[in-house]
Amino acid sequence: MKEKVVLAYSGGLDTTAIIPWLKENFDYEVICCCIDCGQGEELDGLEERAKLSGASKLYIENIIDEFCDEYIVPCVQANAVYENKYLLGTSMARPAIAKTLVEVARKEGATAICHGATGKGNDQIRFELGIKALAPDLKIIAPWRMTDVWTMQSREDEIEYCKAHGIDLPFDASHSYSRDRNLWHISHEGLELEDPAQEPNYDNLLVLGVSPEKAPDEGEYITMTFEKGIPTSVNGEKMKVSEIITKLNELGGKHGIGIVDIVENRVVGMKSRGVYETPGGTILMEAHQQLEELVLDRATMEVKKDMGNKLAQIVYEGKWFTPLCDAVKAFVASTQEYVTGEVKFKLYKGNIIKAGTTSPYSLYNESLASFTTGDLYDHHDADGFITLFGLPLKVRAMKMAEVEANK
């Protein structure tokens, strides 16, 4: 009986060409596995294409709700943003995909998992760290790093390879943006984006929405509610998280929200330039922060900011299934106990404008914050506080003056 390999299958040209390549070079039975994280119409016609290319079976595993509840929500609660801009759309999905690949491999009794990530990107790391953490016994096959066996270097090569193996597919050799899409975002790389000196061609590039210039001239008010840091409704309608993100994507895309052009530092040591569309995610992150401003104390917010940056790095580097990741998520979860309330904001030409926040756990005290003197605050108390708070500065200044006088 042939050994089985589970192939992370997107239906694109790369992973389609890998099917006959695996059979020819390793004599594997190829089980394709497409993990649905919200790619939409990209999944249409995959089963026929996989079977036509020589796969014995295709799994299409819908993990949209798991992706939202177990991966996106913890990152939103942490405000995990990589290098101040990237909302981790691809990074969050990879461990969820790796986990599902391992589950299918176990179900099928496979001995290996194969992915189509290149040797220059972050995804190879994210996939493989996830697989190693969950199934250290499984072999990992990365064709793009096996240059002695994988000899194809272009789309033309892959198309010719498929034709030589009797596979006639609806692909052409024309080059377009390299994209990755899920419910949270879509990323764009390639073409003019490979030159940081060039402006993105947003008319050709954008998929989830429009540029701020083409957004409506009228703003739109949105109201959201949260319970313990988890979004629960949009405009008064109760929804699960995946439905909320879908709705926010529609609203954000309409108003040009969440378009980011970034040159980021990849894990493998190079800089890469990409454009990310994250309309719903940008709104959700901002709304959550808007509520946290009311309910978290200063010291907790200070540490939480550091933990958010740390989680962003952990997730970006593919270290989701690690003790450190678990520990950081546990800290963040503990801060969400009272992040409950309602936020209102206006979407207008790429901007998210605050329009009011309420919470039963708000720490904002109007009598303290106002300029009038209330029972809780005596202005005279500030004298002693400033004297002690500034004492190190005063002592240092006195010492420096003494040193200067003795010269």
Per-residue pLDDT of 189-220, as tens digits, reads 999 999 999 999 999 999 999 999 999 999 99
Q: What is the pLDDT of residue 282?
A: 98
Task: Summarize the confidence of residues 4-28 as an average pLDDT.
Answer: 96
Q: Are strands 112-114 and 139-141 parallel, antiparallel or unpaired?
A: parallel
Decide if 7 contacts 19 (C-beta within 8 A). Answer: yes
Residue 374 predicted with pLDDT over 70: no
Q: What is the pLDDT of residue 369?
A: 67
266 is catalytic: no
pLDDT band at 155 (very low <50, low <70, confident <90, very high): confident
Distances (CA, A) of 27 to 24, 116, 119, 157, 220: 6, 18, 23, 21, 57
Distance of CA 171 to the CA centre of its chain: 29
Q: What is the pLDDT of residue 366?
A: 75
Which pTM was predicted? 0.94
Mean pLDDT of the chain: 95
What are the tens digits of pLDDT across the range 262-304? 999 999 999 999 999 999 999 999 999 999 999 999 999 999 9
Of the candidates 2, 34, 6, 10, which has an alpha carbon nearest to the alpha carbon of residue 114? 6
Q: What is the pLDDT of residue 171?
A: 78
Locate the DSSP E strands across 69-134.
112-114
Q: What is the pLDDT of residue 64?
A: 98
Q: What is the pLDDT of residue 371?
A: 64
Residue 375 predicted with pLDDT over 80: no
What are the tens digits of pLDDT across the range 47-92? 889 999 999 999 999 999 999 999 999 999 999 999 999 999 999 9
Q: What is the pLDDT of residue 298?
A: 97
Kindly report the backbone phi and psi dihedral angles of residue 237, in degrees, each rounded to the nearest multiple of 5, phi listed first. Answer: -100, 120
What are the tens digits of pLDDT across the range 221-231? 999 999 999 99
CB half-sphere exposure, 211, CA atoms < 13 A? 10
Task: Summarize the confidence of residues 325-332 as an average pLDDT.
Answer: 98
The length of the chain, given as a count of residues = 407
What are the tens digits of pLDDT across the range 91-133? 999 999 999 999 999 999 999 999 999 999 999 999 999 999 9
Catalytic choice (10, 53, 91, 94): 94
168 is catalytic: no
Tell me which amino acid residue 209 is.
Answer: G
What are the tens digits of pLDDT across the range 307-319? 999 999 999 999 9
Catalytic choice (10, 53, 123, 126): 123
Q: What is the pLDDT of residue 225?
A: 98
178 is catalytic: yes
In percent, the amount of the chain with pLDDT more than 70 equals 98
Catalytic choice (56, 155, 157, 178): 178
65 is catalytic: no
How far does the chain reach from its first CA to its final CA, in angstroms?
A: 90
Q: What is the pLDDT of residue 377?
A: 81
Kindly give the interhelix angle for 381-389 and 391-405, rounded to the nearest 10 degrees: 50
